[in-house]
Amino acid sequence: MTDLNGKVAIVTGGTRDIGRSCSIKLAAAGAKVVVNYHSSKAAGEETVSVIEKAGGQAILVKGDMMKKADVDNLISEAVKAFGSEIHILVNNVGGLVARKKLNEMDEDFFNQVMSLNLNSTFLATQAVVPHMPAGSSIVNLASLAGQNGGGNGSSAYSTSKGAVSAFTRAMSKELGPDGIRCNALNPGMIATTFHDTFTPDAARRNVEATVPLRRQGHPDDCADTVVYLASDASSYITGANIDINGGMYYS
C-alpha cells in the first residue's frame, strides 16, 4: 500500500534532517524524487548519491522557495526530468531564524519568518497543484510550536507554523474535490540541526526524561509518516495534522 512506483515527488529543503529522510524514504518506496536545496549543495549531492546507490532516481535543484521565480524553476526542472505529472509535494522548507521576544523583533524579522515557513508553502503548493492528477498528496511540515505557542522567543515561528496547519486544512477542502489530499505533520522534539542550534541541551535532556516514549524523535519518524501520507494507504485521510512528539502533547 505504500508502493510509490511511477510517482514523482518534490521535497523542498530536501537535503538534511527531516527533508533528507523524506527524500531517501520516498525514493526507497519507488518515487522519483526532486530534491530541492537553497545553499547546502554538498548535502544535496550526498542525498542524491544515497538514493542513486540504492537504485532510486533523483535530481537536485537549487532554489529559494520564498521566491516565485525559483519555485517555478523547480517545477520546470521536475517536469523536464520526470514528465508533466507531479504526484507528491512535501513542503519541508522552514526555520526559526532566531529566538526573539516581542520587544526584540522588527517588522522585517517577523516577515522573514512568516515568508520562510508560510509563504514558501503557499508558493510551492500553488505551483505544483496544476500538475497534480487525482490521487496526489501534499504533506506540509507544521510544528508542535504551532499548537502550543512554542518556546521562549519563538512567537513568530509558532505563529507561522500555526498558519501552515490552517492552510493545510483549507487546502484539504479546496483540493479534495479534485482528488488531491493535503495533510501536515506536527513534529515535537526531533533530533535535528534545528535543535542543535536553537535548543539548549538541558531542555532536550528534559524532554527525554519526561516524554512518555523517553526519547527525542528521529527524522525517520517523520519521514515514515510522510511516505504513508503520500501513499494510497492513507487515501481517506486529508486535512489531518498528525502529532509526532512521543506523547509530550495531545492536540
DSSP secondary structure, 38-94, as one string: SS-HHHHHHHHHHHHHTT--EEEEE--TTSHHHHHHHHHHHHHHH-S---EEEE---
* Residue 163 φ then ψ, to 5°: -65, -35
First to last CA, the chain: 27
Q: Which residues contact 96 (CB under 8 A, 6 or more apart)?
A: 113, 154, 157, 194, 198
Q: Of 142, 29, 132, 130, which Cα lies nearest the Cα of 88?
A: 132
Strand arrangement of the beta sheet that strand 32-37 belongs to: 58-62, 32-37, 8-11, 88-91, 137-141, 181-187, 241-244
Marked catalytic residue, from 157, 228, 236, 249:
157
Q: Which residues contact 184 (CB under 8 A, 6 or more apart)?
A: 139, 140, 141, 142, 164, 165, 168, 240, 241, 242
* Rg of the chain on CA atoms, in Å: 17
- Residue 157 is a catalytic residue: yes
**C-alpha torsion 130→135→138→139, nearest 10:** -170
- What residues are annotated to the active site? 157
